[in-house]
Chains A and B, each alone.
Chain A
Amino acid sequence: METHQHFSCDIVWEISTYLPVKSLMRFKCVSKAWNTMMQCPNFARSHYARSHDRPSATRFLFQLKTNNKDHLKKSSLMDLSLQLDYFCYDGEMRICSNHCNGLVCLYIYKDTQVYLYNVTTREIKALPPYVNREIKIYPYVEHRSKRKWLPGFDRLFLGFDQVTGNYKLLLLSPHPAETKKAKILTLGVTNSCWRKIDLSNYADYSSCLSYRECIYLNGVLYLIWFDYVAYLDFGEEKIGYISLPPQAHSFERSSCMHAALWGQLAIRCCRYGKRGWPRMFGYDEANKVFIPLESGNGFQNDIYICLPGMERINDKTKEAHVLATTSVIDVPDALLLSSISLPCLISFVAENNIENRPTPDLVFRFVSRFVENIIPLNSLLVSM
């Protein structure tokens, strides 16, 4: 029998675009050619495009925080298996941006440096100095009671321009003199620099300290305020506004997390109509308005999702920020899009199935949906 010829490079390339990321990371060891291919930005793009069709490649990214004081009552638990990816502790590091396609920015206090972190490959890389020096992150305050809003610190956002395929950083800088300006920078291109964009009549963001009030979906960042939503399209680099539906009073800002979970903008309104009942609103993108969604049996049914394996974070003396992921194929149906008409509140609790073992309770900070993305960070963070 004749010996087989080798697969040509383009066939290996083609087959590899169907592989899960864990396999790709392992197969870098196959040979020099494979190692080079896996680090090629074009391969990363082909793989990313293909991964949209692979159900297990769509994942949820949970941003959680341990909380030693609050104790949630545990009822109607659902099991959700999470792969814990990263821990960082207060005082050392914080997550300092929104989630964008499985990328987040991390800030390390001691070297005042912002890093880009790819949740899929767990690669971390410092922003180049010319980018980093413009970003002023809120300092670490040990006692929670002393944490309050201070002027002069930036909010950093990460976005993807769906037209050009470039990632961008957006900086809202509530410096007194620059309240109505924002800066934007394109990543992955040489000679990139911060460009100023006008925010015109939008100025209230300085009060939005936490990322719970923003949501990033499909190239657009939505900043949720009490009576309107401001949005920025990372392609057009222009800010726009969506007003609250009539008769709706005060959005519940934490509900934007659920929208991120479902991959579709939806907002919970605390009081709606004459009776002042809560109601869920979905966003009609074509007409740029919020429309009421079927609200089922109200909001009584809280769902507690339990997270096995959380006992691994057993340092009870420190608060830990946690990034954890799970594939959508492993999550209960209640978390998926179909439940958008069932506007229950979702809470997360750590599983404590081992008696007498310390397990931290968790505060659910944010969740997003992303597709496995092996984009090499050196292709995004090019020096000047």
Chain B
Amino acid sequence: MIIGAKIFMIAGLFFFTTAAIGFLRFPDFYTRMHATAKGDTLGTLFFVIGLALYTLHHGFHWFSIVNSIKLISIAVFWFLASPTATHALLRSALESDLVPWTKDKKVIVAWPPKRRK
């Protein structure tokens, strides 16, 4: 149980770390949100699963099971809230005319691309 908890916590820390590194390295606001929106979500999930396993390591008391369920519900709320918050930030950035960093200056591309004959 403790070994499982440690593995999950280390995996969670790894994704938090890459989220922070990505946040520092990516070129503009939009690409930085890629790093934080995703890394935080999975990092939270793994870390919370690790903590939930850790609370169970004394045995399956009623009290520790309830605590584990509470911890997992944090991850569930995070899964609903994190994409929504990311979306709100991006939308306000687009509406205040923050231009994304692009290589070819074409910001908005229609999708799927039309095939040329």
Chain B binds chain A: no
A residues sitting closer than 8 Å to B (CB atoms) are: none
B residues sitting closer than 8 Å to A (CB atoms) are: none
